[in-house]
A = this chain, B = another copy of it.
Amino acid sequence: MKRIGMLTSGGDCQALNAAMRGVVKGLSNNVDELEVYGFYDGYKGLIYGKYRLLTAADFSGILTKGGTILGSSRQPFKLMRVPDENGLDKVEAMKQTYYKLNLDCLVILGGNGTQKTANLLREEGLNIIHLPKTIDNDIYGTDVTFGFQSAINIAAEAIDCIHTTAASHNRVFIVEVMGHKVGWLTLYAGIAAGADIILLPEIPYDIDKVTEAIQKRTNAGKGFTILAVAEGAISKEDAQLTKKEYKKKLEKSPYPSVSYEVAERIREKTGTEVRVAVPGHTQRGGSPCPYDRVLCSRLGAAAAQAILEEDYGYMIAMINNKTTRVPLGDVAGKLKTVEPDSQIIKEAKTMGISFGD
């Protein structure tokens, strides 16, 4: 007999359901009795005791279903220790829910912020297993997160579509790819779809280098240029600002997002009109791709195995294609960013891709 709780927290992504199915399949095939409590809308459900006893039917057919059957919400880590508007101690409330339900373990699916709260609950004595979810691939301690490959597929397909129209009209196009803090998604989608210029948060760009790269293509007889620009792309000048100054600058910006500013600056320098496409939240929606479904099935099964062994306090990571138990305390709060001089960046530059640096 096992009694587990489960929640999905933070921005949703593909394959959350596939991962939960993996855990439950892994457990139900190996214990006599299993009770799975699903908390609604992330930590909110745990804090306020909103949950449902899930049945086998809940997990049937969800391998390919996007979103999360439990719902999600963002509950910032830094507010976890702050009482809610009614004075409720959230951490205490979560512990009470946990103990009241007499859970063996709480399985938490989420990204960096979620992980920090998961670690806090671990420190408070709860049995925790964390599964690394995010389209951003920025979780430290795992080679890859689920959602990442599915999001690459959507972003790359968007760039593919733009490719044919850009080529037909000899235009410069920006496709804005999700990622405020890290550029993994933009980097991979950009390489996958043959972007000519890729701008990442980790590699501040020089607008002159960007226009040079466009000009070089024009000189070579290539009439169009495609830029994959991360939401968090930043110019060299802005990278000199403090975080506070930059935030203020963004708030005052007349542009809905950074891409529009890049577009305008290119237009100013070159006289070329630049069009912007913003696939936006589509990047975290839709069915998970087979890569993510295998990944989540494996992570889920490995999580089940840890629970069966009553070995708690880990993120289940994928390292060198092996599922691995990584102590939550070792990784919580750390971010995995793109190294500007990493092998993949060098390879991209070898192929002639400009990063504007």
List residues of A whose CB falls within 8 A of some B CB. Answer: 8, 11-12, 14, 16, 22, 25-26, 28-30, 41, 61, 63-68, 71-73, 143, 149, 152-154, 156-158, 160-165, 167-170, 173, 188-189, 191-194, 223, 254, 256, 260, 275-286, 289-291, 293-294, 297-298, 300-302, 304-305, 320-323, 343-344, 347-348, 350-352
Tell which of B188, B279, B284, B321 touches A282, judged by Cβ atoms closer than 8 Å.
B279
Cα distance A303–B168 when bound, in Å?
Answer: 23
Contact A294 B188 (CB under 8 A): yes
In the complex, the count of this chain's copies comes to 4
Could you list 18 examples of A-B contacts with CB < 8 Å? Answer: A16-B168, A25-B350, A26-B351, A66-B164, A143-B320, A152-B291, A161-B281, A161-B284, A164-B286, A173-B281, A192-B290, A277-B281, A279-B279, A298-B344, A300-B351, A301-B347, A301-B348, A301-B351
Contact B351 A286 (CB under 8 A): no
Cα distance A71–B115 when bound, in Å?
Answer: 42
Contact B347 A297 (CB under 8 A): yes
**Chain B residues near A11 (CB, 8 Å)?**
165, 169
Cα distance A169–B164 when bound, in Å?
Answer: 27
Contact A289 B72 (CB under 8 A): no
Cα distance A151–B2 when bound, in Å?
Answer: 38
Contact B157 A286 (CB under 8 A): yes
Contact B278 A280 (CB under 8 A): yes
Contact B323 A343 (CB under 8 A): yes
Tell which of B25, B256, B285 touches A165, judged by Cβ atoms closer than 8 Å.
B285
Q: A301 with B350: in contact, given A160-B285, A282-B161 (CB under 8 Å)?
A: yes
**Chain B residues near A278 (CB, 8 Å)?**
277-278, 280
Minimum C-beta distance from A70 to chain B (A): 8
Q: Which 3 A-B pairs have the closest CB atoms?
A: A161-B285, A66-B164, A67-B164
Cα distance A281–B160 when bound, in Å?
Answer: 11
Minimum C-beta distance from A148 to chain B (A): 10
**Chain B residues near A194 (CB, 8 Å)?**
63-64, 293
Cα distance A160–B290 when bound, in Å?
Answer: 10
Cα distance A45–B22 when bound, in Å?
Answer: 33
Contact B323 A347 (CB under 8 A): yes
Minimum C-beta distance from A262 to chain B (A): 14
Contact A350 B305 (CB under 8 A): yes
Contact B289 A168 (CB under 8 A): no
Of A67, A68, A260, most buried by chain B (CB within 10 Å of CB) is A67
Contact B297 A169 (CB under 8 A): no
Tell which of B162, B223, B282, B344 touches A277, judged by Cβ atoms closer than 8 Å.
B282
**Chain B residues near A68 (CB, 8 Å)?**
168
Q: A156 with B191: in contact, given A256-B256, A286-B161 (CB under 8 Å)?
A: no
